[in-house]
């Protein structure tokens, strides 16, 4: 037992030193944390989501959302990495993503969308948060890399729960900088257009949610905690979509909305 404990402690020390040293040389980037470590972290967090949240298991609805997500994912720089798209059975209008390719959309958001390109816009934005590694960037900026090492080794389940709560509930970790949100918008627009969807869908969805918040203050508190909306951001998306075109709606979306949207 002593040998096993010593070996585990040594592994923890090596992982922490490796991550800390690499990140110190990364000049503000995330190259010091390997994708393998990031995907391991994401899988651990996704296992907790599975235990703590009710996920939709409607085969047709899940197949449609995953098909839209995969079309988008296929046009990202991480197309060779495994991604997963899930539906959370929750009437709150929200969506979130975890490191390692895990993207979630609430039934409430599906119900709030009116067309396929609006759902695609949200999935593309969340996918971009993953491909641009924004959560890992936040960990680095908040100097929580030591915590990451402990989580990966299964030595700090409390820290894993805290990190998950911050991301899902719109805590500090989910409040990306304006630069991160703009990057998720920009790359998301590229991804969804490459997948064949009209990028106006992202703009339409954000405008729809902004109007919903005005008519029902607090109704989208969690969404806007994760995705702060400013007029500058709206204007920037408007300029970027220009005269672009693509798929605006499809039967699969309307069927999915009827099955699970609320």
Q: Which position has the token pair 């010091």?
A: 32
Q: Are strands 102-106 and 84-88 parallel, antiparallel or unpaired?
A: parallel
Tens-digit pLDDT profile for residues 129-168: 999 999 888 877 765 666 777 777 676 677 777 778 777 7
Instruction: Go through the chain and tell me how many residues it has.
Output: 262
* CB distance 219 to 213 below 8 Å: yes
**What is the dihedral sign for C-alpha 228, 141, 189, 45?**
negative
Rounded Cα distance between 174 and 126, Å, is 11
Which helix (DSSP H) or strand (DSSP E) does residue 89 occupy?
none
**What is the dihedral sign for C-alpha 170, 186, 82, 11?**
negative
User: Taking phi first (over 0 means left), then psi (-120 to 50 degrees means alpha), and beta for anything else, what does residue 218 get?
Assistant: left
pLDDT of 219 reads: 63
Helix axes 145-152, 134-141, angle to 10 degrees: 120
Report how many helices (DSSP H) and strands (DSSP E) the chain contains, helices first: 13, 3
pLDDT of 79 reads: 98
pLDDT of 234 reads: 86
What residue ranges of the chain have pLDDT lower than 50?
A: 1-28, 31, 171-172
User: CA neighbours within 13 Å on the CB side: how many for 22?
Assistant: 15
User: CA neighbours within 13 Å on the CB side: how many for 82?
Assistant: 7
Q: What are phi and psi of 131, to 5 degrees?
A: -65, -30
pLDDT of 174 reads: 52
pLDDT of 11 reads: 36
Contacts of 105 (CB under 8 A, 6+ apart): 65, 85, 86, 87, 88, 95, 119, 122, 123, 126
pLDDT of 262 reads: 74
* Segments making up each domain of the chain, as ranges: 2-260
Rounded Cα distance between 73 and 84, Å, is 10
pLDDT of 21 reads: 33
* CB distance 34 to 19 below 8 Å: no
Q: Which long-range contacts (CB under 8 A, 24 or more apart) does 134-138 make?
A: 134/176, 134/180, 134/183, 134/184, 135/98, 135/99, 135/167, 135/173, 136/30, 136/33, 136/38, 136/99, 137/29, 137/30, 137/180, 138/173, 138/176
Contacts of 242 (CB under 8 A, 6+ apart): none
pLDDT of 137 reads: 85
pLDDT of 220 reads: 67
Q: By C-alpha distance, which of 169, 53, 45, 65 is closest to 109?
A: 65
């Amino acid at each position: 037992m002593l040998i096993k404990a010593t070996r585990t402690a040594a592994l923890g020390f090596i992982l922490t030193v490796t991550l800390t040293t690499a990140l110190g040389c990364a000049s503000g980037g995330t190259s010091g944390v390997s994708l393998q470590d990031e995907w391991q972290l994401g899988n651990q967090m996704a296992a907790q989501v599975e235990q703590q949240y009710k996920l939709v298991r409607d085969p047709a609805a899940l197949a449609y959302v995953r098909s839209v997500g995969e079309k988008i994912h296929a046009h990202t720089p991480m197309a060779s990495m495994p991604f997963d798209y899930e539906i959370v059975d929750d009437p709150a209008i929200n969506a979130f993503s975890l490191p390692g390719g895990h993207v979630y959309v609430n039934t409430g958001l599906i119900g709030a969308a009116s067309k396929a390109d609006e759902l695609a816009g949200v999935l593309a934005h969340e996918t971009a948060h993953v491909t641009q590694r924004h959560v890992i960037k936040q960990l680095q900026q908040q100097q929580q890399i030591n915590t990451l090492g402990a989580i990966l080794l299964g030595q700090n389940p409390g820290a894993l729960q805290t990190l998950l709560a911050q991301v899902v509930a719109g805590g500090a970790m989910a409040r990306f900088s304006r630069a991160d949100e703009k990057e998720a918008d920009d790359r998301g627009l590229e991804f969804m257009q490459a997948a064949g969807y009209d990028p106006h869908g992202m703009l339409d969805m954000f405008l729809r949610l902004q109007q919903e918040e005005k008519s029902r203050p607090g109704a989208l508190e969690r969404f806007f905690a994760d995705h702060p909306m400013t007029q500058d951001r709206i204007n920037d998306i408007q300029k970027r979509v220009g005269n672009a075109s693509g798929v605006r709606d499809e039967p699969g979306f309307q069927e999915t909305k009827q099955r699970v949207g609320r």
